[in-house]
Amino acid sequence: MSVYGIISEFNPFHNGHRYLFDAARRDGAQAIVCVMSGNAVQRGELSVTDKYRRAQMALLCGADLVLELPYPWCASGAESFARAGVHIVSEFADTLFFGSECADIAELRAAAQICAKDSFAEEYKEKLVGNSGSAQTYFDLLRQKTGREYLSNDILGIEYIKAAMQLGKDMAFSTVKREGGAYLADEVCGGDIQSATAIRKLIQGGKIEEVSRFMPEQSFSVLKQAVSDGAVSDQGRIENAIKLFFRLSNPEDLAEIAELDAGLAARICNEARECPGELIEALKTKRYTDARLRRALLSALCGVKKSDLARMPEYVNLLGANCVGRELLSKRRKDTGIAVLAKAADIPSTELSARQAELSERLDSIFTLSLGTPGSASEMIKKGPIII
């Protein structure tokens, strides 16, 4: 069986994701395994609705098996996001499939080989001075080395291939040209494939029916039920909790927190004490992207340390499966190097697994407070995989 893996967020599952699934099937996929972000995403934001509902969307639209890309890796920078995703997906799939702007695997592989060199990493660190942001510095250096401009999904593809090289994973890679609205476009443009950012903006604005033409019928139905259940998140609902945390914190105590350095920690604490409005707006500079700032805030609130991101996940949660996915899981889980759990009681009795569970539970308890109808801190632990 030809098994394709897709590292994803499905935040929410829209027509662009259906296009990706269809392209994977045309490319030869007989089964699709998705490694999907939990209740936070790479931009440091809480997911629009919970991981089980988003897994249900994916299963109804063609996925066979959905595993969680756990926190904190799901809400980290491109490198650690990609490493954790590849670490998991390589245990269950033979080919990693993704969308990219250039749609040329040979070109992305060549760029990954450049990025994997120690000399590239050293030069990148040297250039991280002044006011240029880390993401832009990376893009500029890569353009200098390759002679071409790479966009956001190209960069993720490069990081996937680089991660496989560094982790010693023997995987095939395949890509399809990304279609529709630009990755971070926050306004609807022409066509029925829009960016997830634009779709989320419509959802947060209460324009649910407008979203229907940008999502498959099956996933839109799940979204509508989430709205009805008060199960859609709003980042604004945890804004005061974030401010309070930093108002009560000393910058020196945040030295080990992921995505933070001494200067940024001090600045956030100062702004949190003085800022009456949205903290992100007060913190914006050329040096730090919104995504970097949001990841830093969430990491601090959850207590994520740099050392937490330096290792790989100890286990993954099974979010959902159909009959094909269950058969695949049954065949492969015996030979994998990572535990797949259907319930919290199965968490391995190791120190690192306990730490992973602790961070995941912290995020989930914050996530449930962000919902239209807030839930208990243990709400996510009580949920089980979606089986169809």
- Total residues found in the chain within this entry: 388
Q: How confident is the model at residue 54 (pLDDT cuts 50, 70, 90)?
A: very high
As a whole number, mean pLDDT of residues 240-267 equals: 96
Q: pLDDT for 330-388, tens place per residue?
A: 998 878 889 999 998 899 999 999 999 999 999 999 999 999 999 999 999 999 999 99
User: How far apart are alpha carbons 332 and 232 in whole angstroms?
Assistant: 34
- The per-residue pLDDT for 136 is 81
Question: Could you tell me which of 43, 107, 42 has the C-alpha nearest to residue 69?
Answer: 42
Question: Could you tell me which of 320, 306, 299 has the C-alpha nearest to residue 65?
Answer: 320
- The per-residue pLDDT for 132 is 56
Question: Could you tell me which of 367, 376, 237, 240 has the C-alpha nearest to residue 302?
Answer: 367
User: How far apart are alpha carbons 297 and 182 in whole angstroms?
Assistant: 26
- The per-residue pLDDT for 181 is 55
**Is 205 exposed, middle or buried (CB count within 10 Å of its CB: 0-12, 13-18, 19+)?**
exposed
- The per-residue pLDDT for 135 is 77
As a whole number, mean pLDDT of residues 64-69 equals: 99
Would you state the structure tokens that stand for residue 354, as one six-digit string? 């306990």
- The per-residue pLDDT for 180 is 66
Q: Where in the chain is the domain with CATH 3.40.50.620?
A: 1-101+153-233+312-388
Mean pLDDT in the chain?
94
- The per-residue pLDDT for 182 is 54
Q: In 10 A of CB 313, how many CB atoms?
A: 23
CB distance 315 to 266 below 8 Å: no
Question: Could you tell me which of 205, 170, 199, 239 has the C-alpha nearest to residue 14?
Answer: 199
CB distance 279 to 297 below 8 Å: yes
- The per-residue pLDDT for 133 is 64
Q: pLDDT for 103-161, tens place per residue?
A: 999 999 999 999 999 999 889 888 876 555 677 888 889 999 998 999 989 999 999 99
- The per-residue pLDDT for 16 is 96
Q: pLDDT for 181-212, tens place per residue?
A: 555 556 677 789 999 999 999 999 999 999 99
**Is 276 exposed, middle or buried (CB count within 10 Å of its CB: 0-12, 13-18, 19+)?**
exposed
CB distance 267 to 285 below 8 Å: no
User: How far apart are alpha carbons 114 and 323 in whole angstroms?
Assistant: 41
Q: Is the pLDDT of residue 286 over 70?
A: yes
As a whole number, mean pLDDT of residues 221-233 equals: 98
- The per-residue pLDDT for 283 is 94
- Percent of the chain, pLDDT > 70? 97
- Residues 343, 374, 387, 82: what is their CA dihedral angle, to the nearest 10 degrees? -70
Q: pLDDT for 276-285, tens place per residue?
A: 889 999 998 8
Q: In 10 A of CB 274, how many CB atoms?
A: 8
Looking at per-residue confidence, does 221 or 124 come out higher?
A: 221
Residue 162, H or E segment: helix 152-167
Q: Is the pLDDT of residue 319 over 70?
A: yes
Question: Could you tell me which of 112, 91, 104, 66 has the C-alpha nearest to residue 342?
Answer: 66
The CATH-assigned architecture of domain 1-101+153-233+312-388 is 3-Layer(aba) Sandwich (3.40)
- The per-residue pLDDT for 137 is 85
CB distance 385 to 63 below 8 Å: no
